[in-house]
């Protein structure tokens, strides 16, 4: 397996800061996940999930990072790299933001910063998997240069698999 550089864990854009997880993110992370409509996880469960994310980051050198607005300092979601349905060599880019901040370009801005960070690790390609119903996410990926590879059917419905080569 080729050796990759560690992804930077603190990224800044014009409007956003992506940084490592803190235990204080647990309540907001719970609220974000509850927007999926599958119920609300407990703060204790989310604290455990955050600890696993931090352990995974230390082991893999890639990270899913909380996203906060620079001007307000509020947690608005997450964006980063995960192994997910992909591999260590070609990880997935993942993002999820509160519905209240959709449509403002934050997902595209955060994901562009993560693309740059992924390029800096020496990787050559990224994946993303998105429900085919999720038109806004598919538009974000299209803006970032991702192209559809295939569609699979899972328990949750149809999933589009997209790829993007890195410079």
Give per-residue pLDDT as tens, 91-147.
Answer: 999 999 999 999 999 999 999 999 999 999 999 999 999 999 999 999 999 999 999
| Cβ atoms 102, 135 nearer than 8 A | no
Percent residues over pLDDT 70 in the chain: 99
Q: Provide the whole-model pTM.
A: 0.94
Residue ranges per structural domain of the chain? 11-165
> What was the pLDDT predicted at 38?
83
Percent residues over pLDDT 90 in the chain: 92
pLDDT reading at 1 higher than 60: no
Residue 167's closest CA among 129, 127, 114, 122? 122
Span 11-165: which CATH code? 3.40.630.30
Phi, psi angle pair for 111, to nearest 5°: -65, -35
Residue 20's closest CA among 48, 62, 59? 62
> What was the pLDDT predicted at 110?
98
Cα(109)–Cα(103) distance, integer angstroms: 12
């Amino acid at each position: 397996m080729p050796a990759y550089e560690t992804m930077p864990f603190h990224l800044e854009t014009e409007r956003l800061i992506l940084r490592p997880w803190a235990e204080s993110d647990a309540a907001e992370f719970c609220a974000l996940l509850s927007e999926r409509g599958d119920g609300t996880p407990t703060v204790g469960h989310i604290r455990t999930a955050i600890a696993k994310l931090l352990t995974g980051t230390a082991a893999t050198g890639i990270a899913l990072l909380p996203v906060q607005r620079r001007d307000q300092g509020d947690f608005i979601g997450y964006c980063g790299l995960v192994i997910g349905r992909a591999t260590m060599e070609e990880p997935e880019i993942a993002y999820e933001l509160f519905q209240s901040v959709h449509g403002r370009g934050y997902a595209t801005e955060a994901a562009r910063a993560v693309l740059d960070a992924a390029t800096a690790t020496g990787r050559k390609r990224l994946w993303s998997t998105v429900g085919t119903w999720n038109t806004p996410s598919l538009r974000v990926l299209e803006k970032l240069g991702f192209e559809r590879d295939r569609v699979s059917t899972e328990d949750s419905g149809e999933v589009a698999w997209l790829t993007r080569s890195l410079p």
